Structure 1
Amino acid sequence: MISRVMSSDWPGELHLPADFDEAATYRAVVVTHPAGSVKEQSPSPGLYASKLAENGLVALTFDASHQGASGGEPRYLENPVERGEDVRCAVDYLTTLPFVDAGRIGALGICAGAGYSISAATTDRRIKAVAGVSPTDAGSAIREGWDGKLPVDEQIKMLDMVAAQRTAEAKGAAVQYMPYVPEADALDENTAVTMREANNYYRTPSAQHPNSPNKVLLTSLDKLLAFSASDRIGTLLTQPLLLVVGSESDARRHADTFHGEAASTDKEVLTIEGATHVDLYDVPKHVEPAVAKLASFFAGKL
């Protein structure tokens, strides 16, 4: 069953097993949504949380700070440092629940949420195992481009643009926004497969959510460029690590980096044949084997 611990206008949802017993204790997992998303966006965060609950785990989904139903000003800020702290605060909450075993808490992130979860796990030892679905380092994706080939001079141009905007805002100018994913009129033959699919996933009527309007503060860019989800993983990420990636993903490089650099001696990449990056968000034939592996992973490692 799904128990909504707060109303739909609040930032968190707690997913409980169907045979939930308040007197029992359970393993628990924090599920973190992609950048630009919310917990209800199409099915991905809630889908994975509910599927984990079906496998006997307690799963918590939440909206990131500055986004969705969470608080935080300015709105639509994507701050990687705060996104990592969101994960830690979600763990804080789980430790207060009498039916959660505070020594058996894991973290699962989707896309950028995976990078944030991995980063949080390097400094939060309460996270005993961490997993990512279509894992992405949001800092690398912005700094180096989706294909990893953005030249340094283009990065500097972005930073110059942010600098000019910050100065303008300091003098009273209106804030400026940019889209997380390209709108339909911006798609062309050069658009990456994931960006095309992300437009379909986030911007079609069946997938849109009013709390996710596809806009992010332009001044988020300097924070994203300064962030690396793989910082410290070579020394501090000793927890078990599972990465689930599609064989057709054009963002496989992030999973390869996380797997290759993590200090953990218990790490694995599960490749879902035929799946693209976005397929793993909600396509049943690809999600089902991913969930089966994740449920087994958390049951065995927590």
Structure 2
Amino acid sequence: MTTNNYIFDLSDNVTRTPVTFDTRYGIGISADLYRPADFDETASYPALIVGAPYGGVKEQGPGIYANELAQKGYVVLTFDPAYNGASEGYPHHLSSPDQMVEDFMAGVDFLGTRPFVDREKIGAIGICGSGGFALSAAKVDPRIKAVATVSMYDISRMQKMGFGDSMTDSDRKDLLKTLAEQRWADFETEEPALTGRGAPLDWNADENPVGAEFGEFYSRPRGYHPRSITQFTMTSTASWMNFALLNDLDWLDGRPTLLVMGDDAHSRYFSEDVFKELPEPKELYIVENANHVDLYDKMDKIPFAKLEDFFGKALK
């Protein structure tokens, strides 16, 4: 049986240890460290840091990936983003691009100071929004030797342009006015307003197919976790609109990248567009008969063999 709201069963071949570490802003991060059951404290292991989908927590998809990859000989770190999940930070549910990227680099700080981790063999996996965060962190942090993204979202592009780049200039002007007014309201009440749920509790799949996809995961037993409410402070939106998360991807030159997406993913255009901008070596891997959320938790869809092969070569 699953325990402590983890949505998966921990393998008998893996140990999981709760750990904490601080970002450079002094925010304490709640994390889990996964290791092979036959772990040797005196050995030197390759390591991976796995980021959650935007709005997700470590007990969901990241833990599923860590549970599997630790069995392949990796030390794997999963974490809740600062201001979210069980991590520190007030007001809770705040998000910003700098903070989300910093979480990855702080994770590398932690991993690289473990005596059993080979500093020259640290990679990152980003699921959904964390795909963009992992790439953004790696482009300025050469300690991250390789990056794999899964069902990637570019959150800054999403907030600035709307899904499918559908936001008009008029829409954007109205949104910025609303967000500016909300800052006054938040200041006066000292209780920041939250966005609506990204994963609705009820939905009409014909009218809102993307919401239905997220709702079926986050708002149902399949992926439910009480700290994963898929909401953020409304005024967080402006910081994403003002920050180009994935500029300067050419700075990754020479470090391998792997972009994984489902062939039926509503988000596939993010991976396809970023792939065009990435330097070599790079690979776009398409999973057949898979949507965006399938790659969060469906063991028959997630290409673990591909990930193992990619990092086995990239971190050799």
TM normalised by structure 2 equals: 0.88
Q: Distance in 1 between matches of 2:190 and 2:79?
A: 32
Q: Distance in 2 between matches of 1:94 and 1:24?
A: 14
> What's the CA shift for 1:37?
0.8
Amino acid of the residue matched to residue 3 of structure 1?
R
Structure 1 position 297 matched with structure 2 position 310: yes
Q: Distance in 1 between matches of 2:292 and 2:274?
A: 16
Q: Check whether the contact 1:194–1:277 (CA below 8 A) recurs between aligned residues.
A: no
Amino acid of the residue matched to residue 296 of structure 2?
Y
Q: Check whether the contact 1:137–1:228 (CA below 8 A) recurs between aligned residues.
A: no
Q: Distance in 2 between matches of 1:230 and 1:101?
A: 28
Q: Check whether the contact 1:35–1:78 (CA below 8 A) recurs between aligned residues.
A: no
Q: Distance in 2 between matches of 1:155 and 1:80?
A: 19
Q: Check whether the contact 1:33–1:111 (CA below 8 A) recurs between aligned residues.
A: yes
> What's the CA shift for 1:237?
5.0
Structure 1 position 129 matched with structure 2 position 143: no
Q: Check whether the contact 2:203–2:212 (CA below 8 A) recurs between aligned residues.
A: no
Q: Distance in 2 between matches of 1:132 and 1:169?
A: 35
Which of 251, 256, 268 does residue 272 from structure 2 map onto?
256
Q: Check whether the contact 2:200–2:214 (CA below 8 A) recurs between aligned residues.
A: no
Amino acid of the residue matched to residue 46 of structure 1?
G
1:230-267 Cα offsets, whole Å, 9 max, x none, are 2110344541000100001111111112211012x110
Q: Distance in 2 between matches of 1:84 and 1:92?
A: 13
1:197-228 Cα offsets, whole Å, 9 max, x none, are 11110011342212122321001110121233
Q: Check whether the contact 1:143–1:224 (CA below 8 A) recurs between aligned residues.
A: yes
Structure 1 position 69 matched with structure 2 position 86: yes
Q: Distance in 1 between matches of 2:221 and 2:288?
A: 28
Q: Check whether the contact 1:178–1:217 (CA below 8 A) recurs between aligned residues.
A: yes
The answer for the alignment partner of 1:243 in structure 2 is 259
- Where relative contact order (Cα < 8 A, 6+ residues apart) is larger, the structure is 1
1:163-209 Cα offsets, whole Å, 9 max, x none, are 00112223446421113414244545332x33211111001134221
Q: Check whether the contact 2:195–2:231 (CA below 8 A) recurs between aligned residues.
A: yes
1:48-63 map, 5 Å:
48-63=65-80
Q: Distance in 2 between matches of 1:272 and 1:237?
A: 26
1:63-212 map, 5 Å:
63-172=80-189, 174-185=191-202, 187=204, 189-191=206-208, 193-212=209-228
Which range moves more in the overlay, 163-172 or 114-123? 163-172
> What's the CA shift for 1:157?
1.7
Q: Check whether the contact 1:29–1:106 (CA below 8 A) recurs between aligned residues.
A: yes
> What's the CA shift for 1:284?
2.0
Q: Distance in 2 between matches of 1:66 and 1:270?
A: 32
**What is the percentage of aligned positions where both structures have the same residue?**
36
Structure 2: give runs of 5+ residues left out of the alignment. Answer: 1-13, 21-27
Structure 1 position 276 matched with structure 2 position 276: no
Q: Distance in 2 between matches of 1:186 and 1:175?
A: 26
The answer for the alignment partner of 1:221 in structure 2 is 237
Structure 1 position 35 matched with structure 2 position 54: yes
Which range moves more in the overlay, 88-97 or 251-260? 251-260
Q: Check whether the contact 2:216–2:222 (CA below 8 A) recurs between aligned residues.
A: no
1:6-21 map, 5 Å:
6=19, 11-21=30-40
> What's the CA shift for 1:149?
1.9
TM normalised by structure 1 equals: 0.92
Q: Distance in 2 between matches of 1:80 and 1:180?
A: 20
Q: Distance in 1 between matches of 2:223 and 2:130?
A: 18
Greater fraction of residues in helix: 1
Q: Distance in 1 between matches of 2:243 and 2:211?
A: 21
Closer, same or farther in 2 for the Cα pair 1:301/1:166, shift >3 Å?
A: same
Closer, same or farther in 2 for the Cα pair 1:119/1:10, shift >3 Å?
A: closer
Q: Distance in 2 between matches of 1:142 and 1:186?
A: 22
The answer for the alignment partner of 2:8 in structure 1 is none
Amino acid of the residue matched to residue 71 of structure 2?
E
1:79-104 Cα offsets, whole Å, 9 max, x none, are 11100000000000001101000111
